[in-house]
């Protein structure tokens, strides 16, 4: 095999590895986003539970105010009953007192229901906070791993680039430029093996003349069909 081909194969190996590592790095933000999204979902559940608890407490406070208002009204009516001397007025006041008492009873039933609901919401919030605490640790660990992988990938890329530069310095500039153009245009495969006179890059048969040049190993031949550099 021609020394130039050997060097190009090494460069191609390094370039392919660099391409894959860059692709891996490009996927890391998505992995980071997915990890954060899982945490965001739990945080939203916590916020939702807290909002429901606050809304429930507001409803309880309104009911307490309504009950107190009716109790004050009952107290005033009973005081007025002590002062009135008319049976009709006394009866009307008694009817109003009864209505207020019925309303208070219904409000107290609603109050109990809301308090029970509040206890359920508090338990839900406690469970959700526990889940958040657990998931936070998991996500933090995942993000640390992602960041470490990014550093490792970047370090490896730099090592491969330095190795590539060392090998590239041994190759003619024109041939290296040719290789670079082919590598970019042929999806990362610029140098292909010729097997049974068939280019392994495009899977097309080359001419007898080209096949002869590959086997002779005197020049750097290219595929008649795809233009990739050939070796055997």
Tell me the pLDDT band of 150, cut-offs 50, 70 and 90. very high
What does the block give as tokens for 228? 């990739």
Residue 191 CA: distances (Å) to CA of 16, 141, 152? 12, 42, 28
CA distance 56 to 111: 10
pLDDT at 1: 85
3-state secondary structure of 198: strand
Residues 117 and 79 in one domain: yes
For the beta sheet containing 229-231, the strands, ordered from the edge strand earlier in sequence to the opposite edge, are 198-199, 191-195, 229-231
Domain match, 82 and 109 both: yes
User: In this structure, are 27 and 69 located in the same domain?
Assistant: yes
User: Are both 124 and 176 inside the same structural domain?
Assistant: no
Q: How confident is the model at residue 171 (pLDDT cuts 50, 70, 90)?
A: very high
Q: Tens digit of pLDDT for each residue in 199-222?
A: 999 999 999 999 999 999 999 999
Look at residues 119, 145, 171 and tell me which one is the last residue of a structural domain: 171
Task: Give dist(CA 35, CA 43) in Å, integer.
Answer: 13
Per-residue model confidence as pLDDT tens digits over 102-141:
999 999 999 999 999 999 999 999 999 999 999 999 999 9
The rounded distance, in Å, linking the Cα atoms of 209 and 33 is 55
Number of separate domains in the chain: 2
Tens-digit pLDDT profile for residues 38-84: 899 999 999 999 999 999 999 999 999 999 999 999 999 999 999 88
Residues 6+ away with beta carbon under 8 Å from 209: none
164, part of any domain: yes
- 11 domain-assigned: no
For residues 67 and 36, state if they share a domain.
Answer: yes
This prediction's pTM:
0.70
Write out the residue range of the structural domain in which residue 231 sits: 172-232
One domain, residues 50 and 131: yes
CATH number at residue 137: 1.10.287.1490
């Amino acid at each position: 095999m021609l020394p130039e081909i050997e060097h190009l194969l090494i460069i191609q190996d390094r370039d392919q590895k660099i391409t894959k590592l860059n692709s891996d790095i490009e996927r890391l933000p998505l992995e980071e986003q997915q990890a954060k999204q899982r945490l965001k979902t739990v945080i939203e559940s916590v916020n939702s539970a807290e909002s429901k608890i606050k809304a429930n407490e507001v409803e309880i406070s309104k009911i307490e105010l309504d009950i107190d208002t009716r109790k004050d009204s009952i107290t005033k009516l009973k005081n007025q009953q002590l002062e009135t001397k008319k049976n009709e007025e006394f009866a009307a006041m008694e009817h109003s007192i009864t209505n207020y008492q019925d309303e208070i009873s219904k409000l107290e039933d609603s109050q109990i229901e809301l308090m029970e609901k509040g206890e359920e919401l508090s338990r839900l919030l406690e469970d959700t906070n526990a889940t958040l605490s657990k998931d936070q640790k998991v996500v933090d660990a995942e993000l640390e791993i992602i960041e470490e992988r990014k550093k490792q990938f970047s370090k490896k890329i730099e090592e491969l680039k330095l190795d590539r530069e060392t090998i590239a310095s041994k190759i003619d500039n024109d041939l290296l430029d040719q290789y670079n153009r082919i590598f970019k245009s042929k999806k990362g495969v610029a140098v292909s093996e010729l097997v049974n006179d068939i280019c392994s890059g495009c899977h097309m048969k080359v001419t007898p003349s080209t096949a002869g040049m590959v086997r002779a190993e005197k020049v750097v031949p290219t595929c008649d069909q795809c233009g990739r550099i050939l070796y055997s």
